[in-house]
């Protein structure tokens, strides 16, 4: 008889052990969220806001490393003046950063 009672006790202890085994996975997910996922979402939002706010006369750097002044803005593309009489048309999303005024000479 005592054999059956110990099995019943073992089953209830096993359910608590399985809950405790999930605790590290939950903690890992919370750590990944705050260290990786949330900052990436913030950077994506800031980049999207910067791209929608691009205007003629802004000085920008593209992801390819081209520095230029915006001469025209379209829905999906901008025209950059990268040198005298040299204009390049690039996608808005390829703009990496805005530069301070006077950077392009």
pLDDT tens for 61-85 read 999 999 999 999 999 999 999 999 9
Q: Is residue 71 within 8 Å of residue 80, measured between CB atoms?
A: yes
Domain ranges of the chain: 1-52, 55-99
Q: Is residue 32 within 8 Å of residue 42, measured between CB atoms?
A: no
Asked which of 6-20, 40-54, 80-94 is least confident by mean pLDDT, the reply is: 6-20
Q: Is residue 56 within 8 Å of residue 72, measured between CB atoms?
A: yes
Measured CA to CA in angstroms, residue 91 lies from 19, 48, 50, 55 at distances of 50, 13, 13, 14
The mean pLDDT value for 24-52 works out to 94
Name the band, by pLDDT with cuts 50, 70 and 90, for residue 104: confident
Q: What is the CA radius of gyration of the chain?
A: 28
CATH, domain 55-99, list 3.20.20.70, 2.30.30.100, 3.30.1330.10, 3.40.50.920: 2.30.30.100
């Amino acid at each position: 008889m005592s054999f059956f009672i110990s099995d019943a006790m073992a089953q209830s202890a096993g359910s608590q052990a399985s809950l405790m085994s999930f605790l590290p996975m939950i903690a890992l997910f919370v750590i990944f969220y705050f260290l990786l996922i949330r900052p990436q979402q913030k950077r994506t939002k800031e980049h999207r806001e910067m791209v929608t706010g691009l205007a003629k006369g802004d000085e920008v750097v593209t992801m390819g490393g081209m520095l230029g002044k915006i001469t025209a803005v379209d829905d999906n593309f901008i025209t950059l003046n990268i040198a005298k009489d040299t204009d390049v048309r690039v996608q808005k999303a390829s703009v990496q950063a805005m530069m301070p005024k006077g950077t392009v000479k």
